[in-house]
Chains A and B, each alone.
Chain A
Amino acid sequence: MKNLGGTAGRRLSGTVARCGATLFVLCASAVARLPAQAAPAANPLAIPVPPAGRLVAITNATIMTASHGTIPRGTILIRDGRIAEVGPNVQVPAGAQVIDANGRFVTPGIIDAHSHSAAEAINEGTQSVTAEVRMEDVLRVDGISLYRQLAGGVTSALVLHGSANTIGGQSMTIKLRYGLPAESLLFAGAPPGIKFALGENVRQSNVNLQPGREPRYPRSRMGVDALLRERFTSAREYRGRWQQFRTDSAAWARARTAARRGAAILPEPMPPARDLELDALVEVIEGRRLVHAHSYRSDEINMLLDVARDFGFRVNDFTHVLEGYRVADEMAAAGSGGSTFADMWAYKLEAYDAIPHNAALMAERGVVVSINSDSDERARRLYQEAAKAMHYGGASEEEALRMITLNAARHLGVQDRTGSIDVGKDADLVIFSGHPFAPTSRVDMTLIDGRVFFDRTTAPTLEWLIQQQREQRPRPRVASEGGAR
Chain B
Amino acid sequence: MKTAARRLGGLAAGISVWRLAMTASGVGLFLAAQPPSRLAAQVGPTQRAAGTYAITNATIVPVVGDRILRGTVVIQNGRIAAVGANVQAPADATVIDAAGLFVYPGLIDSGTQLGLTEIGSVAGGEDQLELGDFNPQDEALSAVNPASELIATVRVNGITTAITAPRGGQVSGQAALIDLFGWTRREMAVVPRAGMVMTYPRTGGGGGFGGGGGGGGAQQTPEQQRERVQREARALREYLSRARAYAEAKARGGQMESNLAMEAMVPVIRGEMPAVFDVETADQIRGVLQLADSFRLRVVLRGATYAWQLADTLAARRVPVIVGPTTSTPAATDPYDMIYANPGVLARAGVTIAFRTNSASDSRNLPYNAALSTAYGLDPDEAIRAMTINPARIWGVADRLGSIEVGKVATLIVTTGDPLDVRTTVRHMFVRGIPAPFNDRHTRMYEAWRARPRN
Q: Which of B248-297 contact A (CB under 8 A)?
A: 285-286, 289-290, 292-294
The reply to whether A349 and B121 form a contact with Cβ atoms under 8 Å apart is yes
Interface stretch of the complex, out of B73-81, B127-135, B375-383, B404-412: B375-383
Residues of A within 8 A of B454 (CB): 329, 365
Residues of B within 8 A of A482 (CB): 285-286, 289-290, 292-293, 310, 313, 317
Residues of A within 8 A of B187 (CB): none
Contact of A347 among B119, B364, B377, B425 (CB under 8 A): B119
Q: Across the two chains, which residue of chain B brings its CB closest to A383?
A: B422
The reply to whether A384 and B422 form a contact with Cβ atoms under 8 Å apart is yes
* Residue A234 CB within 8 A of the other chain: no
**Measured between alpha carbons, how far is A485 from B319 in the docked complex, in Å?**
14
**Most B Cβ at <10 Å: residue of A343, A347, A482:** A482
The reply to whether A461 and B119 form a contact with Cβ atoms under 8 Å apart is no
The reply to whether B455 and A330 form a contact with Cβ atoms under 8 Å apart is yes
Contact with B along A361-388 (1 / 0, CB 8 A): 1001100000000001110110010011
Contact of A148 among B329, B375, B380, B424 (CB under 8 A): B329
**Measured between alpha carbons, how far is A197 from B360 in the docked complex, in Å?**
27
**Measured between alpha carbons, how far is A391 from B293 in the docked complex, in Å?**
47
The reply to whether B449 and A377 form a contact with Cβ atoms under 8 Å apart is no
* Residue B67 CB within 8 A of the other chain: no
Residue total for A at the interface (Cβ-Cβ under 8 A): 66
Contact with B along A122-146 (1 / 0, CB 8 A): 0000000000000000000001110
* Residue B150 CB within 8 A of the other chain: yes
Residues of B within 8 A of A347 (CB): 119-121, 361
Query: Within the complex, what minimum Cβ distance (angstroms) separates A436 from chain B?
Result: 11
* Dominant secondary structure of chain B at its interface with chain A: helix
Residues of A within 8 A of B442 (CB): 345, 355-357, 392
**Measured between alpha carbons, how far is A439 from B369 in the docked complex, in Å?**
10
The reply to whether A442 and B329 form a contact with Cβ atoms under 8 Å apart is no
**Measured between alpha carbons, how far is A478 from B380 in the docked complex, in Å?**
28
Q: Which of A328-361 contact B (CB under 8 A)?
A: 329-330, 333, 343-349, 351-353, 355-357, 361
Query: Within the complex, what minimum Cβ distance (angstroms) separates B119 from chain A?
Result: 6
Contact of B336 among A361, A438, A459 (CB under 8 A): A459
Query: Within the complex, what minimum Cβ distance (angstroms) separates A345 from chain B?
Result: 6
The reply to whether A151 and B336 form a contact with Cβ atoms under 8 Å apart is yes
Query: Within the complex, what minimum Cβ distance (angstroms) separates A148 from chain B?
Result: 5
Contact with B along A436-460 (1 / 0, CB 8 A): 0111111000000000000000011
Contact with A along B314-342 (1 / 0, CB 8 A): 00110000000001110011011110011
**Measured between alpha carbons, how far is A357 from B424 in the docked complex, in Å?**
15
* Residue A326 CB within 8 A of the other chain: yes
The reply to whether A348 and B119 form a contact with Cβ atoms under 8 Å apart is yes
* Residue B159 CB within 8 A of the other chain: no
The reply to whether A461 and B336 form a contact with Cβ atoms under 8 Å apart is yes
**Measured between alpha carbons, how far is A466 from B310 in the docked complex, in Å?**
11
Contact of A353 among B310, B328, B445 (CB under 8 A): B445
**Measured between alpha carbons, how far is A295 from B368 in the docked complex, in Å?**
27
The reply to whether A439 and B293 form a contact with Cβ atoms under 8 Å apart is no
The reply to whether B372 and A384 form a contact with Cβ atoms under 8 Å apart is yes
Residues of A within 8 A of B293 (CB): 482-485
* Chain B interface category by residue count: 35 or more
The reply to whether A462 and B337 form a contact with Cβ atoms under 8 Å apart is yes
**Measured between alpha carbons, how far is A483 from B150 in the docked complex, in Å?**
43
* Residue B13 CB within 8 A of the other chain: no
* Residue A473 CB within 8 A of the other chain: no
Residues of B within 8 A of A392 (CB): 442, 446
Q: Across the two chains, which residue of chain B brings its CB closest to A148?
A: B336
Q: Across the two chains, which residue of chain B brings its CB closest to A330?
A: B455
Q: Which of A373-421 contact B (CB under 8 A)?
A: 376-378, 380-381, 384, 387-388, 390-393
Query: Within the complex, what minimum Cβ distance (angstroms) separates A364 from chain B?
Result: 8
* Residue A463 CB within 8 A of the other chain: yes
The reply to whether A475 and B335 form a contact with Cβ atoms under 8 Å apart is no
**Measured between alpha carbons, how far is A460 from B330 in the docked complex, in Å?**
13
* Residue A210 CB within 8 A of the other chain: no
The reply to whether A439 and B375 form a contact with Cβ atoms under 8 Å apart is yes
The reply to whether A376 and B308 form a contact with Cβ atoms under 8 Å apart is no
The reply to whether A377 and B336 form a contact with Cβ atoms under 8 Å apart is no
* Residue B48 CB within 8 A of the other chain: no
* Residue A325 CB within 8 A of the other chain: yes
**Measured between alpha carbons, how far is A103 from B106 in the docked complex, in Å?**
34
Contact of B375 among A36, A355, A440, A460 (CB under 8 A): A440
Residues of A whose CB lies within 8 Å of any CB of B are 7, 35-36, 143-145, 147-148, 151, 200, 206, 325-326, 329-330, 333, 343-349, 351-353, 355-357, 361, 364-365, 376-378, 380-381, 384, 387-388, 390-393, 433, 437-442, 459-466, 475, 478, 481-485
Could you write out 7 A-B pairs with CB less than 8 Å apart?
A: A329-B452, A349-B121, A437-B422, A463-B341, A463-B377, A482-B310, A482-B317
New A-B contacts (18) at CB < 8 Å, excluding given A478-B317, A484-B293: A144-B332, A200-B121, A325-B446, A347-B119, A347-B361, A348-B119, A349-B121, A387-B422, A390-B423, A393-B446, A433-B375, A437-B422, A439-B374, A460-B336, A462-B341, A481-B286, A482-B286, A482-B293
